[in-house]
Chains A and B, each alone.
Chain A
């Protein structure tokens, strides 16, 4: 199974809502990632979890709150977002270090619209 599954595929939320994006993988990968991608731009790294611990936070605003409840699941909790946070949110997973050195497997993304 080489799939990374993201839900929901589409999400529309108001600025006062609280919602969550979910990501699941069953490849035994111990590194999981959140990226944000605006139209016609490259994905921007937000967070990296390694062995279920947050290892990288790229100075992301606190209205985005990641959570890694176990080695297969990654969540991104959203609260008090702004319209400029509308984007495609991509989850990825990889082996931690080792060989091959960390090819990333991506989900299809969650398209978020903030009204």
Chain B
């Protein structure tokens, strides 16, 4: 069963603009992870934020987590055409062991 729901479903921006995608989840989590998937390829882990963290940065990525609202956001700054991909959040549910399910995903298109 899916634990995360993302919005928007699709996002189209110009190169150089920022892209923000949001994830809402249902239950208590240990951490929340974000992954990227280029068309028809495997997923690549981007960043992990723990439940006791509020914000985390990695290069052009900024992730926030609000456990009171059960939501997270991923910001990609100064986007590039190579950022075109699908982005999925994956809340790691407390007590879920090794189970990791993915949100509905945001399809990002960055145009030149």
Using a CB–CB cutoff of 8 Å, the interface residues on chain A facing chain B are 4, 31, 33, 40-45, 48, 50, 55-56, 88, 90, 92, 94, 96-97, 100-109, 111
Contact = CB atoms under 8 A, between A and B. Distances in A.
A100 to B, nearest CB: 6
Given A90-B42, A90-B43, A104 B2 contact: no
Contacts of B100: 33, 45, 94, 102, 104
Contacts of B103: 42
A42 B45 contact: no
B97 A100 contact: no
9 contacts: A44-B101, A48-B98, A90-B42, A101-B30, A101-B31, A101-B50, A104-B43, A104-B45, A108-B41
Interface of B: 2, 30-31, 33, 35, 40-45, 48, 50, 88, 90, 92, 97-105, 107
A35 to B, nearest CB: 8
A41 B88 CA distance: 10
B43 A102 contact: no
Contact of A88 (B40, B48, B97, B104): B40
B2 to A, nearest CB: 7
B97 A101 contact: no
B112 to A, nearest CB: 23
Nearest to B45: A103
A50 to B, nearest CB: 6
A33 B43 CA distance: 13
Contacts of B101: 44-45
Contacts of A88: 40
Count chain A CB atoms within 10 A of each CB in B97, B103, B105, B107 and give the residue with the most.
Answer: B97
Nearest to B89: A42
B102 A94 contact: no
